[in-house]
Amino acid sequence: MIFIIWRDAAKVGRIRNMNKRIFGETDGIRAEVGKKPLRPNMINNLGRAIAKHFRGGVALLGRDTRRSGEWMRTEISAGLEACGASVENLEVLPTPAVQKIVAMREDANCGIMLTASHNPATDNGVKVFAADGDKLPDEEELEVEEEFFKIDLGEDIDLPDARLKMITREDAIDVYAQMVEDELELGDSLRGAKIVLDAASGAGHEFSRAVFEGFGMEVDQIDPEPDGENINDGYGALYPDRMVAEAKSKGWMGVALDGDADRVIISDEEGRLWDGDRINILLATYLYEKGELAQDTVVVTEYSNYATVKYLKAQGIKVEKVVNGDRFVAQKLQELGAKLGSEYSGHIIYLPWLKASDGTFMALFVQKIMLEKNARLADLWADFNFMPSKQWGIKVAEKRPLDKIAGFGEAIAEAEVEFAGTGRVFCRYSGTENKLRILVEGEDMELVEKQGKKLAKIIEKEIGV
């Protein structure tokens, strides 16, 4: 049986976005630095709009290691303060740590994170959190936009020539570590444990290492010192090969985070890569065995490998699927009364901790499981094989409805015939970039390559950059 998932993502995005003009589909604002809305006057006005929406109060502000975060911090702070908000700068901090601290602080009205997550340093963005640390729902993002467009933009200026100031607050590390201890009850149990860390020269470079070392772990960190330009540059969750090789060489567990440390990809001691699907299986079966997997259910996205779904169901675990985006995983978990979900890319959502993913926390959770089972991570590898798959990400000039692209529908139909019930194709426009993502899975990798390349070639010809 072939699983053809042909989603007109542009149309779905318009419906889900409810006509948003600044905020994106899945994760706040994200764009190329210097282009709208990442212009100094627009970032200043965004601060004003956020302050108006939350009626002043205290705003906690974090950032990752992009040098553009320096001038963006100045502008958004000025806007917030101009409209009555008090700004506390949390400095360089992972996105989930900002969320946890906002939720913990009774005086915080909102939180703001300046990051473009796994994107290159040429991009940046803004994530906004409510007083409980959750991402704003679509309705509130629209309300912020409404305030934004009421304000005169005023005169724009050239982009400031800012440089990265690498500051990580020790008190933020201590507060976060205590919250982890309260949730996982690790005590001194991890003292002497060893991990290889690749933090993508991002927000977790100093922070995550300090947290791990605070629990007594020995850390071999391999990502370069952040310089404002090297975030996600050949290191981190998108580029885990170095981490995997080092973990295998040392016989340690390896951890790769992305730029704002909400994603995590791990390696076991034998050099096998654990993506979000594999990590989800480990956590799901652990919680299920303990009778702690709420509703005996996990939530995954349409990108999860079909073999993952099949394996989980064979263990007696129910699986629900949603469209891509960790916020949609979290929403479905709340709707079902479940508590564990994931994206294959490394976003793992565990609701007792946070309604979003936290790479540092998840690495510690995996260590806790290893300790309880008195096992190496390699010994916990689930005995199944992923269905061969490959993904193509094609930059596009426009997000034209897929059924309006000449030859694309015919190519999908031909794929269905050739796979003869042994594969699937899933196509979706990115919610944060001008890209079409084509995922092809099948038992025959040669056929996967053939069909994926054919579809990618059509897209490149018709709407490619």
Q: Give residue-wise pLDDT tens across range 371-411.
A: 999 999 999 999 888 888 898 999 999 999 999 999 999 99
Of 8 and 200, which is predicted with more confidence? 200
Determine the Cα–Cα distance for residues 323 and 294; give it in Å rounded to an integer: 21
pLDDT at position 175: 97
C-beta of residue 418 within 8 angstroms of C-beta of residue 451: yes
Q: Is the pLDDT of residue 2 over 70?
A: no
pLDDT at position 388: 87
> Could you read off the pLDDT of 243-270 as tens digits, one per residue?
999 999 999 999 999 999 999 999 999 9
> Could you read off the pLDDT of 91-100 as tens digits, one per residue?
999 999 999 9
Q: Is the pLDDT of residue 12 over 60?
A: no
Tell me the fold of 274-380. Alpha-D-Glucose-1,6-Bisphosphate; Chain A, domain 3 (3.40.120)
> Could you read off the pLDDT of 157-214 as tens digits, one per residue?
899 988 999 999 999 999 999 999 999 999 999 999 999 999 999 999 999 999 999 9
Of 433 and 328, which is predicted with more confidence? 328
For domain 33-150, is the CATH number 3.40.190.10? no
CA angle at 278 for the pair 360 and 92, rounded to the nearest 5°: 20
Q: pLDDT class for 11, splitting at 50, 70, 90?
A: very low
Among residues 117, 304, 389, 430, the one annotated as catalytic is: 117
Question: Among 71-85, 187-201, 316-330, which stretch is predicted with the lowest mean pLDDT?
Answer: 316-330
pTM listed for this prediction: 0.88
Of 54 and 387, which is predicted with more confidence? 54
φ and ψ at 448, to 5 degrees? Answer: -60, -50
pLDDT at position 452: 94
pLDDT at position 422: 80
Of 134 and 15, which is predicted with more confidence? 134
Tell me the fold of 389-463. TATA-Binding Protein (3.30.310)
What is the secondary structure of 254-267 as a DSSP string?
EEEE-TTS--EEEE
pLDDT at position 13: 42
pLDDT at position 27: 80
Q: Which residue ranges make up each domain of the chain?
A: 33-150, 171-270, 274-380, 389-463
DSSP 8-state class, residue 57? E
Domain 171-270 shares a fold with domain 389-463? no
Report which residue type is found at 404: K
> Could you read off the pLDDT of 198-230 as tens digits, one per residue?
999 999 999 999 999 999 999 999 999 999 999
Q: pLDDT class for 67, splitting at 50, 70, 90?
A: very high
Burial degree of 142 (CB within 10 A; 0-12, 13-18, 19+): middle
The tokens for 29 are: 């604002």
pLDDT at position 283: 98
Q: pLDDT class for 302, splitting at 50, 70, 90?
A: confident
pLDDT at position 167: 93
Q: Is the pLDDT of residue 7 over 50?
A: no
Q: pLDDT class for 135, splitting at 50, 70, 90?
A: very high
**Half-sphere exposure (CA, 13 Å, Cβ side) for 252?**
20
Q: pLDDT class for 416, splitting at 50, 70, 90?
A: confident
pLDDT at position 24: 85
pLDDT at position 18: 61
For domain 171-270, is the CATH number 3.40.120.10? yes
Paired residues of 344 in beta bridges: none
Question: Among 157-171, 411-425, 439-453, which stretch is predicted with the lowest mean pLDDT?
Answer: 411-425
In the annotation, is 77 catalytic? no
The tokens for 407 are: 């030859």
CA 225 to chain centre: 22
Determine the Cα–Cα distance for residues 126 and 118; give it in Å rounded to an integer: 13
Determine the Cα–Cα distance for residues 222 and 201; give it in Å rounded to an integer: 9
C-beta of residue 384 within 8 angstroms of C-beta of residue 311: yes
